[in-house]
Amino acid sequence: MEDKKILLRKNGVTIYEDSYGKVYFSKQNPESVVILARDGNQFILIRQFRKAVDCHVVQLPGGGVESGEDLEAAARREFLEEAGMQCGTMIYLGKLFPASWRCNEITHVYFTEEVISTKDQQLEDYENIAVIRLDVQDCIRQIKENEIQDSELVYAILQLKLRGYLEV
């Protein structure tokens, strides 16, 4: 690997600059999980303000994997915390690098069609997340018309189509 200059280390994240002046960051624990849940003819998604892009983003419920935590258990925990829901069987759709040009984050994507209970969200103090239910075909249309830009959600929809779980 080429030379890099560390600019900042804080909260498990290292920001560095390479010899070309490009800035990157590396997470000490780079794994995260998201879950695409379909309940009947609707996807269960979340909407939250993202400071990095200065707007509200429609995306999948998910978050970081705790040290030593099983990926599926992390996806279930995040679904309960952010959407206030529990699910049955989950299918692993794969992993992606949502911003490989900028960071080392790895997102593992799950899918379920078994939403079995609803409870209150268990949000962190800093989180303000709205749960939304979006008709499957409306979600596809919004992706096609570039109204939804979240890479993890788009990846999950593509994987569903490729695996035969989604008719478009």
Interval 41-53: pLDDT, tens: 999 999 998 888 8
What mean pLDDT comes out for the span 105-128?
85
- Percent with pLDDT over 90 in the chain: 82
- Other C-beta atoms within 10 Å of 45: how many? 22
Look at the chain and report how many structural domains it folds into: 1
**Domain contains 59:** yes
The pLDDT, as a whole number, for residue 144 is: 95
Looking at the domain assignment, is residue 13 inside a domain?
A: no
Model confidence at 167: pLDDT above 60? yes
- Look at residue 104 and tell me if it is in a domain: yes
Q: Assess if residue 57 is contained within a domain.
A: yes
Q: Rounded to the nearest 5 degrees, what angle is found at the Cα of 122, between the Cα atoms of 116 and 125?
A: 160
- 21 has pLDDT over 80: yes
Read off the pTM.
0.90
Its domain, for residue 78, covers: 29-162
Residue 19 is assigned to a structural domain of this protein: no
Average pLDDT, the chain: 92
What CATH number corresponds to the domain at position 127?
A: 3.90.79.10
In angstroms, the CA 21 to CA 5 distance is: 9
- The answer as to whether 12 is a domain residue is no
pLDDT at residue number 3: 81
Angle at which helices 136-144 and 151-162 cross, to 10°: 120
More confident residue, 120 or 82: 82
Other C-beta atoms within 10 Å of 81: how many? 18
Answer yes or no: is 62 within a domain: yes
DSSP state, residue 90:
-
Is residue 17 assigned to a domain? Answer: no
